[in-house]
Structure 1
Amino acid sequence: MKHLISYLSTRYRNLKIKYKLIVFISIIMVVCLAFIVVGFKYAFSSYDEQIYRKSSQVLIMSSNRIEDELKNIEEVTYKILTDNVIQNALIKTKDEVSKYEQYQIEREIWEKLTSYVGAEKYIQSIHLFDVNGTEYRAGGTPSSLLYKHKEEMITKAKAGDGSNVWVSLKDSKDSIFSTRQLKSSRNLSLEELGTLVIEIKLDEIVKELPREWEGQEGIIIISKGEDIFFTEKPFTHLDKLNFTVNTNQGYQFQKVYGRSFFVTHSKSPYANWTYWNVIPFGTMFAKVTAIKFVVIFLFLSLFLSAIYLVIQFSKRITNPIENLVSAMKYVQNGDFKVADTFKPSQVHDEVGILHRNFFVMIERINELIKENYEKQLLVKDTEFKALQSQINPHFLYNTLESINWLAKINKQQQISKMVESLGYLLRNAISLKDDVITVQEEIEMVEHYVTIQRFRFEERLDFHLSIHEDVKECVLPKLIVQPLVENAIHYALEMMIEPCMISVSAYKNGDLLHIFVEDNGIGMDEQQLESVRKGEIKTRGNGIGLRNIDSRIKFVFGNQYGLQIDSKINKGTKVLIVIPYQTRWDYA
């Protein structure tokens, strides 16, 4: 975590000013958004609690209202149970009676049942089954399910042993049934007389319940255990909702196929039923959701507006600075003619003053460089010509030709080869014709120089050449490789008794020409190597030193080119020449 913070802090410090402002404003906006989200979450949780309380209260009121109506109907069943007319009529049915007497019994029971049907408006029909299975009915058209589950109801009534039993059927979504066993109260014999079944219009009771969300589409559902036996209206994907609860009261949010619902439940001990109120989330929280979207839209608008203003404000500050940085990069690459590409800022604030002062400074430096360049060019040309004029070429050439002629007359081939190589070296070294030659010509000078040295050191000099064909026509300043081979002989070969390997290789690397001069001599320690790199160690004799070669390369091509020296004790020394790859001389 600490490393991550350090990394992010470093990245932030290295950002451009305009990006720092954008990040800073973004962090402030995110913090504000976090506070808003926390505030909204707290407000919404409180709102959810209020909704739950209201929903629970209304649901309890609704369940109490339903149960009050059911209790009234239960009172009706008790009155029927204890009605003397019905009792006497049912007792008569146990004996053999004539058709007329049977008609009279049916008439008496129908009149009594009809009077009870009108006692409660939610009673759909009343059915009385005597011990012989004969049905006595009053009221409206009964549900076909009543006869389908008749035996089930009679069985449950017997299990109730005279008490009221509520029967809910899965197939019946609108009605519920009250069933009760009738027993004789005469002489307290409690003889079985039949079974009473009353169909109640449960949907009519629910329709008159108070609504929690007026004018909205919540529905009442009643279940017994996990079995749903009543739904106020058809509900798609009802089986996808979870109606399993472990508490007497509560609420939950459920999602079905991407649609959310607010579900409140309340258990009732009266009939061991659970009452549910299912309200679509979008219906309940339409206004809240709208507020959320409005707040998010306003926040995003504010955020984008703030970012836009920050960018516009930062541009007024950073554009001149970026312009100045670009100009500095041009200067860093050696181009001091930045005034032709970049225009000084005309603003009179601190950045504008810095801008104009920089361009004034660059113009002055450019003038000084031009003056110094002309002076250095004159000095180098003078030094080089002075070096060339140290020897009288005509006298040397005539003398060497005489020595070569005498050597051939006396059949001294070794002396002849040495004299020819020496003459080739002298002609090319002091020639004023060309200051620039090809790699092939420079390597020929090296080969002639090595030819001379082989006669001196014989087998101790192990020389190798590896020059790629594509670099032989590449041009370079004269006398930058041969002096390096000479240094390798002086500082490596002469210091060793055993043979010394000296190699020269050249190849193209991208847009650059790399020339290596390596030996396996005694090498240098770090202190000596640093001194050589700084030019603090002078060459022995009057040869051309490493510092002189490096200065010539930098003078011609630029400071990014030159020599690279590496050396280790008893491992040898490696010198790398890095110059531009070009096959014609472009320097002027």
Structure 2
Amino acid sequence: MTSERRRRLRFNHYRLSTKLILTYIVLTVIPMAVLGIFSFIQYKESIEEQIGEYMPRFLRQANANIDNHIADVMAMPKLLLNSENTLAILRKDSYQSQADQNKDQYAVNNYLTRTYLNGSNSDILGVFVLSRNRLFHTSRIPFTGLDWESMLTPYGQDMDLRGKEKIILPSEIKLRFDGDIPYVMIMKQIQDTDNRKDLGTMFIAVQLTFIDRILLDFEQNEDAEIAMVSLKGEVIYHTRHELIGSMDMAVHEYPIWNGSFRESRSEKLISVTESQTFDGILVHSIPLEDLTARTDWTRTLSIMIFSGFVIVTTCLTVVFVLRVMSPIKKLIHLMKEVERGKFQVGLNMQRQDEVGILVRSFNSMIATIRELIEKNYDIKIRQKEAELYALQSQIDPHFMYNTLETISMAAEEGEKEAVVGMVTQLGRMLRFSVGNKSRFVPVREELQHVMDYLTIQKFRFEQRLSFDIREPHDLELYYTPKFIVQPIVENAVKYGLESRDKLIVEILVSRELGLRSGMEDIVIKVRDNGPGIPSRRLLEVEESLRQQTLTGKDSEFGLGNVNTRIVMMHGPHYGMQLHSVEGKGTEVTLRIPMIRLEDVSDLEQD
């Protein structure tokens, strides 16, 4: 059962229409679909690669802009040195009264406000100066959590930064501005250049919104995220401000810190570059689906176009297959009719393509088959008619009566040898006519049959009839259609003895080169000195032979039967020719091809 099912599923067992449609799908639809998918994947990967190459460059540029801005802020402590009054206050070690200290504190705070909180420094939230256990400060926004003794002392005037700046993260101190505005604290020592002493430490709280401005023209995708993360994993900055101050320990799992990579877990493309200023990394992440949003739209459009193309081309293919298969199916139906023996069929089609050629070839084949059948049938009918004609001639009451009477007279006269000879010849003639069913016989047997006939006739007519048969010595190698010589000889005897006292019949067999066939043929000539055929009658007989229309059961039927059989078997280059002169005699020439034994089986099947 399984093997039978597999056999039915083989491609060779499918219908031609199914094969054509499957071939179209395999050779057109599938390759185009694979090519489209492959192109989309390659295009998508190329976008990822391009963004992966360009994004770190943009991040480095953004990082440089951030560093430049921080560098500008880090240079601001020098502005304190521009005020002699402020320097003098910072150089004081002690006060005589609290009022003097409050006065100095007011003066420094006022200077800090005018200098650092003006319109051009909108990113500065507050400035704090710790000097000799004094805290001077100014703030743009109210703040809480400033405990300078516990929080700022570690960064006080006694700390030696060696002239460098330090960035303090909000997680390292408790300072909070109203609204939880994200910031970083920049710390730098204030040095008295004249005395080469440290006057204290300045803390500048910088609002991180300046990073938003830097990145404003850098990334406009709503789903993209940019973050500044410290090496400890603390989020210093994030485009989603609520994440600032949180911890992102995934940075420690990043394979690289300068470049791009694909994170398969979250399906994101992450680009990273290091930041020396913040001692961390600047991270850009964007979902892969956002990168290929346009390609997804292109993919959808391509799928729609491809689907439309497949539908249209499939319909056209189906229509084409149906147009091709329709006449083929009709041909199959007609072939089944022919298989049942119905040859009167045909298909009318004017197409000039291969199908039209096939239909015309089929019609031509059927016409040829009909012609061959009719020809073969006609040959067999004529062969049977010739056999019947020969048999009728041999069992004709007159022929049999005359032969038996001759045998009786020879017996009365004691001519035993003549009796034995005539009986033997008559039996051989009947055996040749009835016993041999083949359409072809050796030329020598055909001539022997004629010799038997003439010998019996000579016993009867004695000196009135004489005959001579001349033949090549190798006739046993060649074959001839059966009963083609006797009808001619019989015709010559019948009409010759009616008008001649002495009839001479000559039979000449030779091999000659045929002018029309171009091959060596066997030529059999039957001559007699009978009355001949009048010229007018001779023309009628020749025309009848050419048209193969002789009917009836007379002598002319015998001639027409012989000629028609030879032409049908061997073609128009062969057949019978008549040459007759009235009052002098007639010569009938038979031309047949040289048929060998190995050719007989093929001719018998035709």
Sort the TM-score into its range (normalised by shorter chain). 0.3 to 0.5
- Higher radius of gyration, 1 or 2: 2
TM-score after normalising by structure 1: 0.47
TM-score after normalising by structure 2: 0.46
